[in-house]
Amino acid sequence: MYAAGKYGFSEVTNKIVHKEGFRGLLRGWSAAYVRLGPQTIVIFIVMEKLRQ
């Protein structure tokens, strides 16, 4: 089980939006997509080769 945290999800979300704006919630997504791009391409190529 998880221990009760000091802050809840909505409280943390409100603090981020208040301090950094809505774009603060999206910080880090571009890095995640840059990482997923090559992985997706490799998986697609491998699956196509295995299908043949």
pLDDT in tens, 1-52: 566 678 888 999 999 999 999 999 999 888 988 989 999 999 999 999 999 8
CA distances from 52 to 32, 42, 44, 47, 48 (A): 31, 16, 13, 9, 7
Q: Which one, of 40, 36, 17, 14, lies nearest residue 27 by Cα?
A: 17
Tokens 């809505």 belong to residue:
22
- Tell if the pTM clears 0.75, that is, is over it: no
What confidence score (pLDDT) does residue 2 get?
65
Determine if residue 4 is left, alpha or beta; phi over 0 gives left, psi from -120 to 50 gives alpha, anything else beta. beta
